[in-house]
């Protein structure tokens, strides 16, 4: 491919460029083409899946041991006492089986790097993969949350540590995450019909359609990336965020379909706007493609108090069918501040909505309201999915 070809390709739209790249890759039939730029990637990450199924075999041995007689087709609940020693025997017996070495490495990592009790960690995994109890804590299992938190800190900040404490909510992919977020923002009076939402375009088409629904009826304002500037947001487009009428900025980073991450100029501009005159701005960033970009830095790392991070394991690990995602919120955030500053009639209405969850509903954090809203509040005890939570830590630990 010559210089002239590259110059011509630089003028194409993301969709046209995608088609050309697929055609070029298809000419090399002797090579394997991995394609994550589609609804379902044409690959999957094998190592964590092998680990998951080996974990299931160990978990079933624990269920059988607990009940004593599996001949009737009924197992018992796993017991934590001695579980680490039993896993060591299981691993030694099947060390050559795919996935066992990975599980051993994962156990070593969480014990030595995170300071977890091997027994407590294994019991959480076994209980989860068996799917025999409701999740507790309901927002995200304790060990799983810390592992995914470490993974996000590494992937979202260019390798630099994130400041502050991060709360996570395990969700059924970014699809569920964005659905829950719009609903909770509305329920908690952070958005209302007629409010303006800025949307970084081009973008995943459904993200344009959601604010138009009768549930929200938001006014959309396009913040347009310029193909002549490498699909970056020009300064005059980002200046649209200075308007106090803009309540929310929704974007995908790296872009979909542009596949381009926001450069430092854009990140710095947005950060200065938020940390300057728009300390009230809410940012929703879908960073599902972050792991594909070198030295990626999310707005969540630069504007943590204002940003809600959506992440999904679907693309990088080829796991769309598992529905694995997470919502991340900094513990010190503008969402809680905005809710506490609502007019008293609105606060009384929210007190009534969440009174069954806490003695003092006003102390309930936004992310915990998000969890409750995802299950119509009354079913707050049943969010998430244990099986999927186990997959999340397996995928998190499988990165080099």
Q: Looking at the predicted structure, is the pLDDT value of residue 386 above 50?
A: no
Residue 391: predicted pLDDT? 66
Q: Looking at the predicted structure, is the pLDDT value of residue 6 above 50?
A: no
Whole-angstrom Cα distance, residue 89 to residue 81?
15
Residue 334: predicted pLDDT? 98
Q: How confident is the model at residue 5 (pLDDT cuts 50, 70, 90)?
A: low
Q: Looking at the predicted structure, is the pLDDT value of residue 287 above 50?
A: yes
Q: What is the mean pLDDT of residues 7-30?
A: 56
22 or 330, greater pLDDT: 330
Q: What is the mean pLDDT of residues 299-327?
A: 90
Residue 292: predicted pLDDT? 86
Residue 201: predicted pLDDT? 96
Q: How confident is the model at residue 379 (pLDDT cuts 50, 70, 90)?
A: confident
Residue 73: predicted pLDDT? 73
Q: What is the DSSP letter of 110?
A: H
Contact 268, 238 (CB under 8 A): no
The boundaries of every CATH 1.10.20.110 domain in the chain are: 46-133
Q: Looking at the predicted structure, is the pLDDT value of residue 24 above 90?
A: no
Least confidently predicted of 6-15, 142-151, 238-247, 375-384: 6-15
Q: What is the mean pLDDT of residues 45-73?
A: 84
Residue 348: predicted pLDDT? 98
Residue 94: predicted pLDDT? 87
Q: Does domain 165-385 have CATH number 3.30.565.10?
A: no
Residue 320: predicted pLDDT? 80
Q: How confident is the model at residue 400 (pLDDT cuts 50, 70, 90)?
A: very low
Q: pLDDT tens for residues 78-137?
A: 899 999 999 999 999 988 899 999 999 999 999 999 999 999 999 999 999 998 888 888
What average pLDDT does the chain have? 87
Q: pLDDT tens for residues 356-376?
A: 999 999 999 999 999 999 999
Q: pLDDT tens for residues 250-271?
A: 999 999 888 899 999 999 999 9
The boundaries of every CATH 3.40.640.10 domain in the chain are: 165-385
Residue 321: predicted pLDDT? 81
What DSSP assignment string belongs to 141-181? -HHHHHHHHHHHHHHHBTTSPPPS-EEEEEESHHHHHHHHH
Residue 48: predicted pLDDT? 87
Q: pLDDT tens for residues 29-54?
A: 556 656 655 567 676 788 888 999 99
- Pairing, β 246-252 against β 282-286: parallel
For residue 43, give both structure tokens: 């690959």
Q: Tell me which fold the domain 46-133 belongs to.
A: Histone, subunit A (1.10.20)
Q: What is the DSSP letter of 361?
A: G
Residue 186: predicted pLDDT? 98
Contact 380, 372 (CB under 8 A): yes
Contact 367, 373 (CB under 8 A): no
3-state secondary structure of 259: coil
Of 308, 318, 325, 32, the closest CA to residue 172 belongs to 325
Q: Looking at the predicted structure, is the pLDDT value of residue 162 above 80?
A: no
Whole-angstrom Cα distance, residue 388 to residue 170?
9
């Amino acid at each position: 491919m010559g210089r002239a070809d590259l110059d011509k390709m630089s003028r194409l739209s993301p969709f046209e460029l995608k088609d050309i790249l697929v055609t070029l890759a298809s000419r090399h039939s002797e090579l394997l083409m991995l394609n994550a730029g589609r609804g379902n990637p044409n690959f999957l990450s094998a190592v964590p899946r092998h680990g998951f199924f080996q974990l299931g075999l160990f978990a079933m041995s624990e269920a059988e041991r607990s009940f004593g007689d599996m001949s009737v087709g009924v197992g018992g609940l796993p017991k934590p006492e001695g579980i680490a020693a039993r896993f060591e025997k299981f691993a030694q017996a099947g060390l050559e089986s795919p996935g066992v070495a990975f599980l051993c490495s994962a156990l070593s990592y969480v014990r030595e790097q995170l300071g977890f009790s091997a027994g407590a960690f294994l019991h959480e995994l076994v209980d989860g993969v068996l799917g025999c109890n409701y999740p507790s804590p309901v927002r995200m299992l304790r060990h799983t949350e810390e592992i995914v938190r470490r993974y996000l800190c590494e992937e979202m900040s260019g390798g630099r540590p994130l400041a502050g404490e991060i709360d996570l909510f395990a969700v059924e992919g970014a699809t569920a995450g964005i659905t829950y977020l719009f609903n909770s923002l509305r329920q908690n009076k952070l958005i209302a019909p007629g409010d303006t939402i800025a949307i970084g375009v081009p973008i995943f088409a459904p993200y344009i359609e959601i604010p138009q629904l009768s549930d929200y009826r938001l006014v959309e304002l396009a913040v347009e990336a310029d193909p002549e500037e490498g699909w970056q947001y020009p300064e005059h487009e980002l200046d649209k965020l200075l308007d106090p009428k803009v309540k929310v900025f929704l974007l995908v980073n790296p872009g979909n379909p542009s596949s381009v991450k926001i450069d430092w100029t854009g990140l710095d501009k947005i950060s200065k706007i938020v940390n300057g005159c728009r300390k009230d701005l809410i940012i929703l960033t879908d960073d599902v493609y972050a792991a594909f970009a070198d030295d990626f830095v999310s707005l969540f790392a630069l504007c943590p108090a204002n940003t809600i991070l959506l992440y999904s394991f679907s693309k990088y690990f080829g796991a769309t069918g598992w529905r694995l995602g997470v919502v991340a919120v900094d513990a010190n955030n503008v969402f809680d501040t905005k809710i506490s500053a609502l007019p008293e009639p609105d606060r009384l209405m929210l007190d009534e909505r969440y009174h069954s969850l806490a003695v003092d509903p006003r102390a309930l954090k936004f992310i915990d309201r998000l969890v409750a809203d995802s299950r119509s509040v009354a079913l707050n005890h049943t969010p998430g999915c244990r099986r999927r939570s186990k997959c999340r830590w397996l995928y998190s630990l499988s990165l080099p």
